[in-house]
Structure 1
Amino acid sequence: MNSKKIENFVTIYQKLNKDNLALLEDIYHQDVVFIDPLHTVEGLKELEQYFSHLYSNLQSITFNIDESVEIADRGFLYWTMTYCHPSLNRGKPINVSGHSRIKFHNERVIFHQDYVDTNTMIFEHIPLVGKVIKYLKKRASK
């Protein structure tokens, strides 16, 4: 069973959008380190700026938390992200599975690392690059 802190994290994360990024203060520690496959961000203000830039480029984004596990001060979230970006996949929804490893300090997340396949998330949806990646994946699976 998950504690209140992981439930609170999930609830707020699923509400996030470009207009309510101040909610990040409710779940992240001021000294948070946030890592995804493309960026490393240190500090709450920098994280707010990163999310602001990220959300401003998207038409929509949602996270469905498929499973969560909590062990002591650590949490593990398995999720499906659905997003629309005007320059990718002709603006149609893209679904990507991933997971996050988080560490709490005083009820707030001080460390958050996302694991996601960037090819599936971005590169396969760029017209020419996507065709090359799909070709290479097909060749590698033979």
Structure 2
Amino acid sequence: MADTLIAQITMLYERFDPALIGALDQIYDSDVVFEDPLHRVEGLVALRRYFSGMVHGLEECGFTFNHILEQRGQAGEPDQAVLLWTMHYRHRKLKGGRRLSLEGSSHLQFRDRVLYHRDYFDAGAMLYEHIPVLGYVIGKIKARLG
């Protein structure tokens, strides 16, 4: 069951587009908790709304899964997986609409559907560094610290 669920997840996220929104109930529990560096949402309805907002401004987005680690739950605990990924995306307001890449990972806890999903990534590398004035300032700070 875990292999099937992980396969569904990776297949759906290969293209992060409006079709994913309609398929969320196939992989997420109605009481799912989703977290990333920018937001925390609880429940499938809130997750659907959050993803709909993200998809809206994207010209392209998809995930390549580089490595997957799975662990079976013990004594009533949910199964877990960590997915290491690269996200490729284009947004008309970031870097002139050029294609960007971001490395990250996801921690999932699941039974027949995902109960908990937490994404780990550098929000600055994803968004802030690509906003013209803010990106310049962040670049200067990084250069000074590095």
TM-score range, shorter chain: over 0.9
Contact in 1 for aligned 2:16/2:61 (Cα 8 Å): no
What does residue 105 of structure 2 align with?
99
The amino acid that maps onto 1:70 is E
Distance 2:132 2:21 in 1: 32
Post-superposition CA distance 1:89-133 (Å, at most 9, x none): 11111100000000003x110100000001100011011111111
The 1-side partners of 2:102 and 2:9 are apart by: 20
d(CA) in 2 for partners of 1:12, 1:87: 25
* Partner residue in 2 for 1:109: 114
Please say if residues 16 and 23 of structure 1, whose CA atoms lie closer than 8 Å, have aligned partners that are also in contact. Answer: no
Gaps of 5+ in 2: 73-78
Runs of 5+ in structure 1 lacking a partner? Answer: none
Paired with 1:14 and 1:8, the residues of 2 have a C-alpha distance of 10
Question: 2:137 matched to 1:132?
Answer: yes
Q: Which residue of 2 aligns with 1:37?
A: 37
Matched residue pairs, number? 139
The residue identity in structure 2 corresponding to 1:57 is G
SS at match of 2:50: helix
Q: Classify 1:128/1:17 alpha carbon distance in 2 versus 1 (closer, same or farther; 3 Å).
A: same
Q: Within 5 Å, which residues of 2 pair with 1:1-142?
A: 3-72=3-72, 73-105=79-111, 107-141=112-146
Give 2:90's aligned amino acid: C
Taking only aligned residues, the RMSD between alpha carbons, in angstroms, comes to 1.3
CA contact (8 A) 2:15 2:61 kept: no
Moved over 3 A (4+): none
Contact map agreement 2:16 2:55 (CA 8 A) in 1: no
- TM normalised by structure 1 equals 0.93
Cα distance, 1:30–1:82 mapped onto 2, change above 3 Å:
same
